Chains A and B, each alone.
Chain A
Amino acid sequence: RKEVEQDPGPFNVPEGATVAFNCTYSNSASQSFFWYRQDCRKEPKLLMSVYSSGNEDGRFTAQLNRASQYISLLIRDSKLSDSATYLCVVNRDDKIIFGKGTRLHILP
């Protein structure tokens, strides 16, 4: 089983809709969690950290469920500019493990 798993998508979502991705991780010793965004032919960029209590940044909400070992990302009122690949990231013992990403296409 891969340490970090994501649905590769693509998710094709109309502009203005709400979309959510999940990501599961296998190692219960994982310590911290992040969502990264990667545009085509660009480097990954940190979108947000994921805290145990859940956190929100504008239209984006991230949540962590340690019991079930998954994190989620919710995007409300999606924009065309949200089209990208979203990478789930898990930090364990100073090593950061990336999921393969979920592709999101926002449709006009």
Chain B
Amino acid sequence: DAGVIQSPRHEVTEMGQEVTLRCKPISGHDYLFWYRQTMMRGLELLIYFNNNVPIDDSGMPEDRFSAKMPNASFSTLKIQPSEPRDSAVYFCASQLQGGYTFGSGTRLTVV
């Protein structure tokens, strides 16, 4: 199993641009989570899906953030427009039962 696959690994973009982060969960895992990690705030849960349905998006910081899961093997997190304070590492994780498996993360820098 290739694990949870995220792309891109690194993204540098200018303020105001749209950013799309991608995630492929482990096949058969029915939960998918998007987290953001910064030094100041640690790992913050943004949104999670169960069987492709968004369950809790209360962690999404504001309307500039949106997430979709059109099928069991793909999810996107979009930021439009991006701002410098969005700079962080964004992790996707999937779960069947027990603990999570994380992807390698996308390091986003907004300049």
Contact = CB atoms under 8 A, between A and B. Distances in A.
Given A43-B91, A94-B50, A49 B98 contact: yes
B56 to A, nearest CB: 6
B99 A87 contact: no
B99 A97 contact: no
B34 interface: no
Contacts, number: 41
A54 interface: no
A28 to B, nearest CB: 20
A61 B104 CA distance: 27
Interface of B is mostly: strand
Interface in B42-65: 42-43, 45, 48, 50, 55-56
A100 B103 contact: no
B102 A45 contact: yes
A96 B45 contact: yes
Interface of A: 34, 36, 42-46, 49, 87, 89, 94-101
10 contacts: A43-B91, A43-B103, A43-B105, A44-B91, A44-B100, A45-B102, A46-B98, A46-B99, A96-B100, A101-B42
A-B complex: 9 closest residue pairs judged by Cβ atoms: A100-B42, A46-B99, A43-B102, A98-B43, A34-B99, A44-B102, A43-B104, A43-B105, A43-B91
